[in-house]
A and B are shown apart, each in its own frame.
Chain A
Amino acid sequence: DGGITQSPKYLFRKEGQNVTLSCEQNLNHDAMYWYRQDPGQGLRLIYYSQIVNDFQKGDIAEGYSVSREKKESFPLTVTSAQKNPTAFYLCASRRTALGEKLFFGSGTQLSVL
């Protein structure tokens, strides 16, 4: 079955450590997205990518980095520069034509030790 997979489901970060959240899709979608969600809050756009080897900053890109070396994969690295990383992270993908819905992964809960 086609879908979008995020791993791990739970992740813990120590002070000063970089951690990477995985996002893989087998839907042949060109566009992929990363969102951050704080408790009781909305979805804030971190980064998005329309095609391989290209990505754009969203509204809260500081302290995060991404890569898009393969169409299927869009990993997010939370760097030590992100001082408040505790949040629920959601990855999504979709076809790039107008009117295409987003498919979401099941999310990764990141916490600081």
Chain B
Amino acid sequence: QQPVQSPQAVILREGEDAVINCSSSKALYSVHWYRQKHGEAPVFLMILLKGGEQKGHEKISASFNEKKQQSSLYLTASQLSYSGTYFCGTGYNNNDMRFGAGTRLTVKP
């Protein structure tokens, strides 16, 4: 009962784009995205609440395909500060919140 993320890791050069995917075998009603730097708490990026919804946060945006039970996070023109581990999370029962295993993103100069 956890969402599945892919890829596990991505290495980029500054200015390149990346896509991180999150899928679930069970119905998704909402998807959360967070970024975590090493040794720190995760930081909220965005929540998508319904199918087809897309949201943006600076050069980071996301989409949510309710029918396919998938969400994707798009990082455009990546910056060094985008490095970290990205997690998607969703709830299945009674206000639980479960996360995927994470995608480690490294942006190099």
Give the interface of A toward B (CB within 8 A): 31, 33, 35, 40-45, 48, 50, 56, 58-59, 88, 90, 92, 94, 96, 98-99, 101-102, 104-107
Contacts and interface: CB of A to CB of B under 8 A. Distances in A.
Interface of B: 1-2, 29-30, 32, 34, 39-42, 44, 47, 49, 87, 89, 94-102, 104
A33 B97 contact: yes
A99 B30 contact: yes
**Binding site of B, secondary structure by majority: helix, strand, loop or mixed?**
loop
B44 A98 contact: no
Given A43-B87, A101-B32, A101-B44, 16 more contacts: A41-B102, A42-B102, A43-B42, A45-B97, A48-B96, A50-B95, A59-B1, A88-B39, A90-B41, A90-B42, A96-B95, A98-B29, A99-B30, A102-B44, A102-B89, A107-B41
A56 B96 contact: yes
Nearest to B101: A42
A4 to B, nearest CB: 9
